[in-house]
Amino acid sequence: MISLSSQTQESIEFIADLFRQSKYAVVLTGAGISTSSGIPDFRSAGSGLWSHDEPLEVASLSTFRTAPEKFFAWFRPLAGQIFSAQPNPAHRALAELEEAGHVHSIITQNIDMLHQKAGSQNVIEMHGTMKTLTCTQCYHQVDAEPYIRSFVEENELPHCPKCGQILKPDVILFGEQLPQSAWFKAQREARQCDLMLVAGSSLEVLPVAGLPMQALDRGAHLVIINNTPTYLNIRADVAILEDVATIIPAIMESVKWQK
């Protein structure tokens, strides 16, 4: 059992009370919620993906179009981590809060599908998904699992079963626009919510990083749980600089037992 400071415990109880009073709570998650599941984030010193690679060189749409093998060489270890990862206590706690009616939706910057694996139903994926692949030539879409498994295990690049061209994971690369439907849904949720919980996001990637401001501008409460400060900590009702895999389950338990 992890021991929490009295200040952190008070903050958890305060957040739990916000959830109990809320009629429309929305959660925004980033890479930090999945690190406990073995998936690296992007910006942590030493361990983040961008501490080893230049994103525009390996994860951009232009790189994929001109040198897909370069993208796939970078992507292979990450794909293996994503497909073998399991939800951690933070994912499961959010799914329980949704099932109990305390969370209306989850807006995620992640492509790892761990919220869905944990049981969350209303998940808005802002940066695409690893669930499917789409042909770059004929736009035929396929289930990703068998292709990614062959790619991870045998380094076999995924090719379209219809025309033979390269298949692209349905994730958003640098230089691509966000999925329009997901962006509209996310803005609607931000503008309608009366409570937004930011979990495991540094709030550095626009335009998603602006969603909490849209919630604040309409009078919503804001809670931030992240290992490092964000630009909005000063505006939050409460901000906890600790691991989300510890704090979110504690919030869920407090909501459950202090009705």
Tens-place pLDDT, residues 119-134: 999 999 999 998 999 9
Boundary residue ending a domain (171, 199, 225): 171
- The residue count for the chain: 259
Q: Same domain, yes or no, for 110 and 145?
A: no
Predicted local confidence at residue 1, as pLDDT: 52
Predicted TM-score of the model (pTM): 0.90
Q: Same domain, yes or no, for 59 and 145?
A: yes
Q: Same domain, yes or no, for 190 and 245?
A: yes
Q: Same domain, yes or no, for 94 and 211?
A: yes
User: Is 52 one of the annotated active-site residues of the chain?
Assistant: no
Catalytic option among 91, 115, 127, 221: 127
Whether residue 215 contacts residue 25, with contact meaning beta carbons closer than 8 Å, is answered with no
Whether residue 184 contacts residue 11, with contact meaning beta carbons closer than 8 Å, is answered with no
pLDDT, tens digit (0-9, with 9 covering 90-100), for 143-162: 999 998 899 999 999 999 99
Whether residue 197 contacts residue 225, with contact meaning beta carbons closer than 8 Å, is answered with yes
Q: How many domains does the chain have?
A: 2
CATH assignment at residue 137:
3.30.1600.10
Predicted local confidence at residue 54, as pLDDT: 59
Chain mean pLDDT for the chain: 91
Q: Same domain, yes or no, for 118 and 240?
A: yes
Residue 198 lies in domain: 1-39+87-127+177-259
Boundary residue ending a domain (171, 199, 232): 171
Measured distance CA(34)–CA(38) in Å, rounded: 7
Q: Same domain, yes or no, for 32 and 142?
A: no
Closest CA to 108 of 211, 245, 250, 222: 211
Residue 47 has pLDDT above 60, yes or no: no
Q: Same domain, yes or no, for 94 and 20?
A: yes
Predicted local confidence at residue 45, as pLDDT: 46
